[in-house]
């Protein structure tokens, strides 16, 4: 950026100076043509021809602009003004360009104005951390990424940072963010508590609006698998978020389970649906049923020589641990541990739990 730009002043474009010169010249020539006709020096035909010639000069100016690769609309506007209004139109354009020249000197460049209005880069370590988290989480659909950066901001940030964080979370909302909103509802700052409450209300409103739309589609097309899947995930995420009363959460879980089972019956080979059904059962303490679902999926994957997602393997291992099936747990970890890459985005605590589970003393350790 030049020094002129940084101080708010700019040089006047040479092309616009040329436009002003042409406009003044046309105004003078067109005025003379009509004055000569008024004095009966020339005929009306000659006056009109001269008028058209003056107006056409702006088309030549436009051709010159294209040659120098400048996008400027003044020639076209001036052509129309002069063609319809004559010298008055030329003078009007001259005034317009003069005002443009005057105010442009003190105007703020668009790129600077836009960056001030919508900041493009995070300015604090907390904001940069949040942006990195969002970037990484989006690649994994926010399913398994703990929102640690948000929790850090909520515990140590100032009011402005907390408000920015809550706004950012609402704009990129996922059910995994719910614990942070619940934590914000109990913040020591009353302004943050009120702001968090409004955010939670917005989340509920968005959920209800989406719920109405998905249920309407279900009524219109009961066998639409894509809509059934979206509706099941919709209830699943709402139940996981915990931003409602217990009875509502219980109903969300029941509806999600019913839809996952329905999808499973309609598409027995849909591995994704079976994993989600197992995860739902695991979350709500139905460990035996969840383990049965996971085992069926792993058998199907083995028959296809496919690899399960690291997070999905951990869900199954957690089922085995909760059932105290330690021998089976160690056997499964030994069989599938190599499928979890060294640079896995699994939480460190999860990886440590895996190491504990595979140890001979796993029965005595709680993850």
Question: How does pLDDT run across 306-323, given as a tens digit for each residue?
Answer: 877 777 788 888 888 888
CB 278 within 8 A of CB 297: yes
Global model pTM greater than 0.95 = no
User: What per-residue confidence (pLDDT) applies to 37?
Assistant: 85
If you average pLDDT over every residue of the chain, what do you get?
77
For 75-101, b where at least 16 C-beta lie within 10 A, e where not — what string?
bebbbebbeeebbebbbbbbeebeeee
At 250-303, the pLDDT tens digits run 899 999 999 999 998 898 888 889 888 988 988 888 888 998 898 888 888 888
Residue 132: CB atoms within 10 Å: 12
Q: Which of 120, 204, 191 is nearest to 161 (CA)?
A: 191
Q: Can you tell me the distance from the alpha carbon of 303 to that of 326, in angstroms, rounded to the nearest whole number?
A: 25
Higher-confidence residue of 2 and 140: namely 140
* Backbone torsion region of residue 267, taken as left when φ is above 0, otherwise alpha when ψ lies between -120 and 50, otherwise beta: beta
User: What per-residue confidence (pLDDT) applies to 9?
Assistant: 44
At 8-64, the pLDDT tens digits run 445 555 666 777 778 788 888 888 888 888 888 888 888 888 888 888 887 777 777
At 319-342, the pLDDT tens digits run 888 888 888 888 888 887 777 665
Question: 366: which 2 tokens?
Answer: 């709680």
pLDDT above 70 covers a percentage of the chain that reads: 75
- Residue 148: band (very low, low, confident or very high) from pLDDT cuts 50, 70, 90: low
Q: Compute the 3-state secondary structure of the chain and give helix, strand, coil in percent, each to the nearest 5.
A: 75, 0, 25
Three-state secondary structure readout of 35-78:
HHHHCCCCCHHHHHHHHHHHHHHHHHHHHHHHHCCCCCCHHHHH
- Residue 111: band (very low, low, confident or very high) from pLDDT cuts 50, 70, 90: low
At 152-179, the pLDDT tens digits run 777 777 888 888 888 878 877 777 788 8
How far is C-alpha 257 from the chain's CA centre?
Answer: 29
Mind giving me the DSSP string for 149-205?
Answer: HHHHHHHH--HHHHHHHHHHHHHT--GGGHHHHHHHTT-SSHHHHHHHHHHHHHHHH
Q: Nearest-5° angle of CA 54, CA 48, CA 95? A: 40
User: What per-residue confidence (pLDDT) applies to 6?
Assistant: 40
User: What per-residue confidence (pLDDT) applies to 336?
Assistant: 77
pLDDT above 90 covers a percentage of the chain that reads: 4
Show me where the domains of the chain are located: 3-108
Q: Which of 45, 34, 28, 35 is nearest to 90 (CA)?
A: 28
Is residue 146 predicted with pLDDT exceeding 60? no
User: What per-residue confidence (pLDDT) applies to 346?
Assistant: 55
Higher-confidence residue of 254 and 98: namely 254
Residue 147: CB atoms within 10 Å: 22
């Amino acid at each position: 950026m030049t020094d002129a730009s940084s101080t708010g002043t700019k040089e006047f474009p040479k092309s616009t100076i040329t436009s002003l010169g042409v406009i003044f010249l046309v105004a003078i020539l067109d005025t003379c043509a009509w004055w000569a006709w008024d004095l009966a020096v020339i005929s009306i035909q000659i006056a009109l021809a001269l008028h058209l010639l003056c107006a056409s000069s702006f088309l030549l100016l436009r051709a010159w602009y294209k040659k120098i690769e400048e996008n400027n609309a003044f020639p076209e506007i001036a052509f129309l003004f002069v063609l319809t209004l004559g010298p008055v139109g030329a003078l009007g354009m001259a005034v317009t360009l003069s005002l443009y020249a005057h105010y442009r000197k003190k105007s703020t460049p668009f790129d600077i104005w836009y960056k001030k209005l919508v900041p493009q880069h995070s300015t604090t370590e907390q904001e940069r951390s949040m942006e990195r988290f969002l970037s990484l989480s989006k690649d994994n659909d926010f399913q398994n990424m703990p929102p640690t950066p948000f929790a850090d901001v909520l515990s140590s940030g100032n009011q402005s940072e907390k408000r920015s964080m809550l706004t950012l979370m609402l704009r990129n909302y996922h059910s995994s963010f719910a614990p942070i909103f619940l934590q914000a509802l109990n913040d020591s700052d009353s302004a943050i508590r009120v702001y968090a409450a409004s955010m939670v209300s917005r989340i509920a409103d968005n959920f209800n609006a989406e719920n109405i739309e998905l249920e309407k589609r279900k009524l219109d097309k009961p066998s639409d698998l894509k809509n059934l899947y979206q509706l099941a995930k919709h209830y699943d995420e709402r139940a996981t978020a915990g931003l409602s009363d217990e009875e509502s959460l219980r109903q969300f879980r029941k509806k999600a389970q019913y839809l996952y089972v329905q999808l499973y019956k309609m598409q027995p080979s849909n591995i994704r649906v079976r994993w989600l059904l197992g995860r739902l059962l695991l979350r709500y303490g139905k460990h035996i049923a969840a383990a049965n679902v996971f085992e069926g999926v792993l058998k199907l994957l083995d028959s296809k020589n496919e690899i399960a997602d690291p997070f999905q393997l951990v869900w199954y291992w957690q089922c085995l641990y909760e059932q105290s099936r330690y021998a089976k747990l160690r056997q499964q970890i030994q069989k599938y541990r190599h499928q979890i890459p060294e640079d896995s985005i699994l939480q460190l605590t999860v990886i440590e739990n895996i190491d504990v589970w595979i140890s001979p003393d796993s029965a005595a350790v709680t993850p």
